[in-house]
């Protein structure tokens, strides 16, 4: 299992961030996520896998200055 | 404090009414020349039209200067104001001061929004705004004692030149054992020697037992401050209860503040973690999206960017509460303790560094090709201590580094310094030279616009390439986002009233990443709405960060997530509760629109504020060099072929650079026209008479300025 925004979500081997967001049924274009205290931006969603037991936060808005 | 000798040159007592619905009801005018101290009532008209904060500043500044006033003329004023919402610990981000003056860089109005205790303490001491004109003959301190209801002008001997020592000494002296009752505004020696001196505003960190800093950085306000002979402005106040603003509807004000604070506490740890890492989270994200300026905005990405971002600074920041105002739950003003500089007057001594924030990291790090977090800390520390704006310092050094690499200048001009990108020692040496007013640093401290002229006229450099790579607009150095791929952000910078600062319209992500505004009309709509909305924070004494750095969980499901309308509704409720002036979100935008247009006309009065002044260096729009083009060749080739219908077969890169430039410059010019129309301005970028009438700013002197510039309808 992994924790996504505080909720338990089933983990799958080789699950990418893109696959995770799809599995959550999310259609919103998240600009970034945080996985185990490390930021991953959307350009890397396809190549980044989520480890088992990870704590994930979906970052809804990057607001800048 | 031993060693300080104060001499009173003028003093007066005054009446202080209780704050009523967010207002103190009077302003304070200090003329350092005569010297003279006056209190002036705030009129209902001022509240209605200008709201407070920057609005009050602009109105006071407008009355102080003429169209021919230069930045160093005695009549130029430094105005500092809070705002009707400012100063309560009950609402996050309520501790802002807004500062305006005529800038030595842009020669017209500059404004800066800064944290720290000063603005709220000024208001509680009895003044919605402070206006300082004239010039003192000797280093002078303005001391506003809200507890004793007394204002003193004092000369001082024995005060250090270094900003940190000034703040510490004056906090100790005037605090009388209660340092938390004091806020100090001061600058440092670099402000005298450069055109981009900043102001440091203190807040007292009770845990670490030290005066900490926030900066009114942009546009050389510190340089004006130093030129006036001001050593410091100090205010003294004590208690700040939740209902300190005496809101019209205390219960409603408390309720909306409580829910906002609660939401931030709950959601910030899940979102951008401002309370833990500040704005350092932006470094890796900007880098991933090709927006992080690298080597004078040539590129937007670098493989070593992770070395200067959140992952590193989260371990360097000293944990604890870092709110620059009481009760703020965003609390993003982080710092590093026991940092030991390797150079300069504090070499080998453990110091506390306030920062760095994203802009300093990008400006004094990646944009200089420096990916060492400790060098960035050292530049940050010395800029604060010397009273220098880290953004202008970074962008100016980036410019000279590129000039050096291009062979436009060499070691004969740089005083022997090797200035290639990544030269940490040289960057630091330039900062020290700016602090001392010596060597090549004295030229760099004049800013990019003046350097372009010096390099062309005196060093024989090609003025065309200097224009293309010198990252300033209106005379102000760019803040730290790489805008080549976002036309909307080009507008956000180029059309900003004070020059290319991101606080008006940070649209780069919405445009480039989310593609939310593909048409010119959509871009124009956002280049209208966002600057108007964001101006409102500076009218009220508020920080913008709570608005959209932490957003409601259901925000993504709303029709316009980027505008975070639920929060704007809360701001409307809060404004209504404090002032008693019932307002909707749309009303807030209209309030700003009036002040925004007034500032545009103020620019016009000072000889600016037309289409010709809303220009950008080409580096902000596209690749200047073949090297830049080649670094993103696939992107640019595709755009030429698919968007512009160019057959690129057999074309040399230099030819493609020129073709792309033609298209992009035309796009930017087109954008300006569409935005002007959306804002109710003429094709030359001047507000029409109909627009100023609609906004209620059709004062005779405003109409006169429009008439002088050929606008009569």
pLDDT of residue A64: 76
Same domain flag for B361 and B438: yes
- 3-class DSSP assignment, residue B544: coil
Is the CB of residue A48 less than 8 Å away from at least one CB of chain B?
no
For the record, the structure tokens of B302 come out as 């670098």
**Whether pLDDT at B1 is above 60:** no
Give dist(CA B628, CA B193) in Å, integer: 35
Asked if the structure places residue B463 within a domain, the reply is: yes
In angstroms, the CA B461 to CA B453 distance is: 9
CA B624, B627, B631, B632: dihedral to nearest 10 degrees? 30
pLDDT digits over B241-292, tens only? 999 999 999 999 999 999 999 999 999 999 999 999 999 999 999 999 999 9
Please give the pLDDT value at position B513. 87
Give the length of chain B.
Answer: 713
Q: Which residues of B touch A55 (CB under 8 A)?
A: none
CA distance B624 to B627: 8
For residue A57, the chain B residues in CB contact (below 8 A) are: 270-271
B161 CB-contact burial (10 Å; exposed 0-12 / middle 13-18 / buried 19+):
middle
Q: Looking at B236, B263, B290, which one is the last position of a domain?
A: B236
**ipTM of the predicted structure?**
0.97
Distance CA B219, CA B209 (A): 31
**Across the interface, do B508 and A61 touch by the CB < 8 Å criterion?**
no
CB contact under 8 A, B561 and A60: yes
d(Cα B10, Cα B142) in Å, to the nearest integer?
10
Taking the whole predicted model, whether its pTM rises above 0.95 is answered as yes
Distance of CA B529 to the CA centre of its chain: 19
In degrees, rounded to 5, the angle at the alpha carbon of residue B86 between the alpha carbons of residues B83 and B89 is 175
**Residue of B351, B327, B329, B325 whose CA lies nearest to B340:** B351
CA distances B297 to B462, B621, B634, B645, Å, are: 19, 11, 19, 27
Question: Which CATH number do you get for residue B497?
Answer: 1.10.599.10
Q: B491 and B456 in one domain? A: no
Residue B8 has φ and ψ, to the nearest 5°, of -75, 130
Q: Structural domain tally of chain B? A: 3
CB contact under 8 A, A65 and B514: no
Q: Which two tokens stand for residue B683?
A: 């094709």
Q: Are B113 and B222 in contact (CB under 8 A)?
A: no
A-chain CB neighbours of B545 within 8 Å are 63
Residue-wise over B262-271: b if at least 16 C-beta within 10 A, else e? ebbeebbebb
The residue ranges of DSSP E strands in B221-276, in sequence order, are 230-236
Angstroms from B514 CA to nearest CA on chain A:
7
What is d(CA B55, CA B77) in angstroms, rounded to the nearest whole number?
15
Mind giving me the DSSP string for B25-39?
A: SEEEEEETTTTEEEE
For B159-177, write each residue's pLDDT tens digit.
999 999 999 999 999 999 9
Distance CA B582, CA B536 (A): 16
Nearest to B226 by CA among B197, B205, B246, B204: B197
Give the chain A residue nearest B502 (alpha carbons).
A65
Is A65 in Cβ contact with B549 (below 8 Å)? no
Identify the pLDDT of residue A61. Answer: 84
Asked if B676 is an interface residue toward chain A (Cβ–Cβ < 8 A), one would say no
> Looking at the predicted structure, is the pLDDT value of residue B465 above 80?
yes
Residues 6+ apart with CB under 8 A from B502: A64, A65, B479, B481, B492, B493
Query: Do residues B508 and B473 both lie within one domain?
Result: no
Tell me what pLDDT residue A62 has.
Answer: 85
- Domain shared by B494 and B619, yes or no: yes
B 333-362 → A contacts, CB under 8 A:
358-359
Q: Taking CB atoms and an 8 Å limit, are B513 and A31 in contact across chains? A: yes
Does one domain contain both B63 and B101?
yes
Rounded Cα distance between B101 and B80, Å, is 9
- Considering the domain boundaries, does residue B26 fall inside one? yes
Q: How many CB atoms lie within 10 A of CB B612?
A: 9
Residue B245 lies in a domain: no
* CA B83/CA B90 separation, integer angstroms: 15
- In B500-582, at which residue ranges do the beta strands (DSSP E only) sit? none
Q: Does residue B258 fall inside a structural domain?
A: no
**Cβ atoms of B236 and B143 closer than 8 Å:** yes
What digits encode the pLDDT tens for the residues B669-682?
999 999 999 999 99
For residue B306, count CB atoms less than 10 angstroms from its CB and return exposed for 0-12, middle for 13-18, buried for 19 or more: middle
In a domain, B482, yes or no: no
> Quick one: tokens of B166?
């000034």
Nearest CB neighbour to A57, from listed B270, B358, B506: B270
Looking at residue B2, what is its pLDDT? 61
Question: What are B88-134's pLDDT values in tens digits?
Answer: 999 999 999 999 999 999 999 999 999 999 999 999 999 999 999 99
Asked if A39 and B281 come within 8 Å (Cβ–Cβ), the reply is: yes
Q: How confident is the model at residue B514 (pLDDT cuts 50, 70, 90)?
A: confident
Give the pLDDT mean for B459-465: 98
Q: Does A55 touch chain B (CB under 8 A)?
A: no
Do B86 and B113 have their domain in common? yes
- pLDDT tens profile A4-53: 999 999 999 999 999 999 999 999 999 999 999 999 999 999 999 999 99
Q: What percent of chain B has pLDDT over 90?
A: 98
Residues from chain B that touch A63, judged by Cβ atoms under 8 A, are 272, 506, 545, 547-549
Tell me how close the Cα of A19 comes to any Cα of chain B, in angstroms. 19
- Is B416 exposed, middle or buried, given 0-12, 13-18 or 19+ CB atoms closer than 10 A? exposed
To the nearest whole number, what is the mean pLDDT of chain B?
Answer: 97
Closest alpha carbon to B377 in B303, B280, B292: B280
Distance CA A37, CA B278 (A): 14
Test B288 with A64 for CB contact under 8 angstroms: no
Both structure tokens of B553: 């969980």
Q: How far apart are CA B609 and CA B477, in angstroms?
A: 17
Final residue before a domain boundary, out of B458, B477, B496: B477
* Cβ within 8 Å of residue B465, ≥6 positions away: B406, B408, B624
- What's the mean pLDDT in B696-704? 98
Q: Which of B208, B199, B237 is nearest to B111 (CA)?
A: B199
pLDDT tens readout for residues B332-368: 999 999 999 999 999 999 999 999 999 999 999 999 9
Q: Is residue B566 part of a domain?
A: no
Q: What domains lie within chain A, and their CATH numbers?
A: 2-59 (3.10.20.30)
B545 min Cα distance to partner chain A (Å)? 8
For the segment B370-375, the average pLDDT, to the nearest whole number, is 98
C-alpha distance from B638 to closest chain A C-alpha (Å): 19
Q: Is B85:B541 a contact under the CB 8 Å cutoff? A: yes
> pLDDT tens, B127-137?
999 999 999 99
User: In sequence order, which residues have a C-beta less than 8 Å from that of residue A13 and are 6 or more positions away?
Assistant: none
Residue B288 in contact with partner chain A when CB distance is under 8 A: yes
Percent pLDDT > 70 in chain B is: 100
In DSSP notation, B299-316 reads BS--TTGGGGSHHHHHHH
Give residue-wise pLDDT tens across range B139-162.
Answer: 999 999 999 999 999 999 999 999
Asked if residues A55 and A27 have their Cβ atoms less than 8 Å apart, the reply is no
B206 and B319 fall within a common domain: no
Q: Are residues B401 and B542 in the same domain?
A: no
Taking only the tens place, the pLDDT of each residue in B580-634 is 999 999 999 999 999 999 999 999 999 999 999 999 999 999 999 999 999 999 9
Nearest CA in chain B to A4: B270
The enclosing domain of B123 has a CATH number of 3.60.9.10
**Reported confidence tier of residue B531, pLDDT bands at 50, 70, 90:** very high
In the 3-class helix/strand/coil scheme, how is B635-683 assigned residue by residue?
Answer: HHHHHHHHHCCCCCCCCCHHHHHHHHHHHHHHHHHHHHHHHHHHHCECC
B613 and B492 in one domain?
yes
Chain A residues whose CB is inside 8 A of the B271 CB are: 57, 59-61
Is residue B341 one of the residues assigned to a domain? yes
DSSP H/E element including B64:
helix B54-64
Question: Which of B282, B551, B557 lies at the smallest CB-CB distance from A64?
Answer: B282
Q: Which domain holds residue B170?
A: 5-236
Q: What separation in angstroms does the CA of B272 have from each of A32, B276, B426?
A: 10, 9, 34
- CATH number for position B459: 1.10.569.10
Distance CA B712, CA B680 (A): 14
Answer yes or no: do B452 and B598 share one domain: no
| End-to-end Cα spacing for chain A | 36
Residue B3 pLDDT > 90: no
- For residues B309 and B214, membership in a common domain is answered with no
Last residue of a domain, one of B441, B458, B477: B477
Residues B416 and B309 in one domain: yes
């Amino acid at each position: 299992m992994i924790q996504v925004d505080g909720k338990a979500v089933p983990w799958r081997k080789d699950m990418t961030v893109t696959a995770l967001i799809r599995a959550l049924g999310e259609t919103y274009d998240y600009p970034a996520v945080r996985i185990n205290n490390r930021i991953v931006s959307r350009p890397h969603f396809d190549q980044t896998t989520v480890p088992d037991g990870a704590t994930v936060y979906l970052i809804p808005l990057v607001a800048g200055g | 404090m031993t060693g300080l000798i104060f001499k009173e040159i003028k003093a007066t007592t005054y009446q202080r009414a209780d704050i009523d619905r967010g207002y103190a009801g009077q302003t304070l005018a200090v003329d350092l020349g005569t010297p003279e101290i006056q209190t002036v009532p705030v009129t209902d008209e001022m509240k209605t039209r200008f709201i407070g904060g920057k609005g009050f500043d602009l109105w006071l500044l407008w009355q102080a200067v003429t169209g021919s006033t230069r930045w160093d003329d005695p009549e130029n004023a430094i105005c500092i104001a809070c705002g009707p919402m400012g100063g309560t610990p009950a609402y996050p981000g309520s501790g802002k001061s807004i500062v305006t003056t005529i800038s030595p860089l842009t020669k017209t109005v500059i404004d800066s929004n800064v944290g720290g205790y000063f603005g709220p303490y000024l208001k509680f001491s009895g003044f919605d705004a402070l206006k300082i004109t004239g010039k003192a003959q000797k280093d002078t301190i303005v001391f506003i004692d809200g507890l004793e209801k007394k204002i003193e002008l004092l000369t001082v001997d024995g005060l250090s030149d270094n900003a940190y020592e000034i703040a510490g000494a004056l906090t100790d002296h005037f605090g009388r054992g209660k340092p938390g009752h004091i806020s100090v505004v001061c600058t440092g020696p670099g402000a005298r020697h450069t055109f981009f001196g900043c102001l440091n505003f203190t807040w007292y960190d009770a845990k670490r037992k030290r005066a900490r800093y926030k900066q009114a950085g942009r546009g050389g306000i510190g340089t004006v401050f130093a030129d006036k002979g001001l050593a410091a402005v100090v205010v003294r106040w004590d208690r700040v209860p939740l209902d300190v603003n005496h809101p019209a509807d205390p219960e409603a004000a408390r309720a909306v503040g409580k829910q906002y604070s609660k939401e931030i506490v709950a959601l910030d740890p899940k979102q951008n973690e401002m309370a833990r890492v500040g704005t350092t989270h932006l470094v890796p994200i900007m880098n991933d999206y090709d927006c992080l300026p690298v080597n004078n905005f040539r590129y937007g990405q670098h493989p070593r960017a992770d070395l200067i971002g959140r992952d590193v600074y989260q371990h360097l920041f000293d944990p604890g509460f870092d709110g620059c105002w009481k009760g703020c739950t965003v609390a993003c003003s982080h710092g590093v303790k026991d940092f030991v500089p390797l150079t300069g007057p504090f070499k080998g001594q453990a110091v506390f560094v306030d920062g760095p924030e994203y802009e300093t990291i990008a400006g004094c790090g990646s944009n200089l090709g420096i990916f060492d977090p400790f060098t960035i800390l050292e530049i940050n520390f010395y800029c604060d201590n010397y009273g220098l704006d880290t953004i202008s310092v970074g962008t100016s050094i980036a410019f000279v580094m590129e000039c050096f690499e291009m062979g436009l200048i060499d070691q004969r001009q740089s005083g022997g310094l090797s200035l290639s990108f990544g030269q940490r020692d040289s960057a630091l040496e330039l900062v020290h030279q700016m602090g001392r007013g010596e060597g090549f640093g004295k030229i760099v401290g004049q800013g990019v616009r003046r350097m372009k002229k010096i390099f062309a006229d005196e060093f024989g450099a090609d003025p065309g390439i200097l224009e293309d790579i010198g990252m300033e607009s209106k005379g102000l150095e760019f803040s730290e986002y790489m805008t080549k791929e976002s036309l909307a952000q080009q507008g956000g910078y180029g059309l900003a009233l004070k020059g290319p600062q991101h606080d008006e319209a940070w649209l780069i992500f919405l445009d480039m990443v989310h593609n939310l505004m593909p048409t010119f009309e959509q871009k124009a709509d956002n280049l209208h709405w966002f600057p108007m909305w964001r101006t409102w924070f500076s009218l009220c004494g508020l920080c913008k960060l709570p608005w959209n750095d932490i957003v409601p969980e259901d925000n993504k499901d709303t029709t316009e997530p980027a505008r975070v309308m639920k929060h704007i509704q809360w701001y409307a409720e809060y404004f209504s509760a404090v002032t008693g002036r019932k307002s909707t979100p749309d009303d807030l935008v209209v309030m700003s629109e009036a002040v925004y247009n007034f500032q545009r006309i103020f620019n016009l009065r000072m000889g600016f504020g037309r289409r010709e002044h809303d220009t950008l260096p080409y580096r902000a729009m596209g690749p200047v060099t073949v090297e830049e083009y080649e670094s993103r060749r696939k992107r640019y080739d595709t755009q030429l072929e698919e968007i512009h219908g160019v057959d690129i077969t057999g074309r040399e890169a230099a030819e493609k650079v020129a073709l792309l430039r033609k298209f992009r410059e035309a796009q930017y010019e087109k954008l300006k026209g569409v935005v002007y129309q959306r804002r109710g301005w003429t094709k030359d970028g001047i507000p029409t008479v109909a627009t100023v009438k609609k906004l209620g700013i059709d004062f005779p002197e405003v109409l006169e300025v429009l008439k002088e510039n050929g606008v009569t309808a």
